[in-house]
Structure 1
Amino acid sequence: MSGRAPLVPHRANQETTGQSYFRGVSEWVCGCCGRWRVSVELIRGRHRYRLVRRYPRQFGGGKDVLGEVGSVAELEELLRRRTPLGLADLREAV
């Protein structure tokens, strides 16, 4: 028998050695109308920023993913290109 640890089945939301499968999601929304949202996910040890536009319920609701990037600088560029917002206009969602 080798010196390895015994195999233990991991759940999808548990962190494993060397690679994280846990997706801790936080969300940021615009302070003006709440229509624009940025979700921040930790996927395999790296942060992914997803920009989403939400539609009001009276217009059928739903959401449209406008882009997904891997750094804050890319997020700032995506916000500048696709929305009337900047990073300073976002606040943490409750």
Structure 2
Amino acid sequence: MELRCGCCGRWRVTVELVRGRHRYRLVHRYPASFGGGKNVLGEAATVAELVALLHRHTPLDLADLRETG
């Protein structure tokens, strides 16, 4: 599953199941005008850690993220 911000779509959180546990990975994607690509800013094991990670690296909160289809 992947979540991304509703404002610009550059901030994304992927949710993966690794060894029976969920891992949340925060990624910043660069626009094509800047060469594209992505920068992994960190990983979290719990939702509380994900919230702390979002506050540390982004101007977003959990409520700003939307599931991609």
Quick check: TM above 0.5? yes
TM-fit CA distance, 1:38: 0.1
- Structure 1: gaps (5+ residues): 1-25
The answer to whether 1:52 aligns with 2:52 is no
| Corresponding pairs, count | 69
Segments of 4+ in structure 1 off by > 4 A? none
Q: Which has the higher helix share?
A: 2
Higher RCO (C-alpha under 8 Å, 6+ residues apart): 2
- Structure 2: gaps (5+ residues): none
The structure with more radius of gyration: 1
What TM-score, normalized by structure 1, do the two folds share? 0.72
Q: Which has the higher strand share?
A: 2
What TM-score, normalized by structure 2, do the two folds share? 0.98
Superposition RMSD in Å: 0.4
Separation of aligned partners in 1, 2:48 and 2:68? 21
Taking only the aligned residue pairs, the percentage that are identical comes to 72
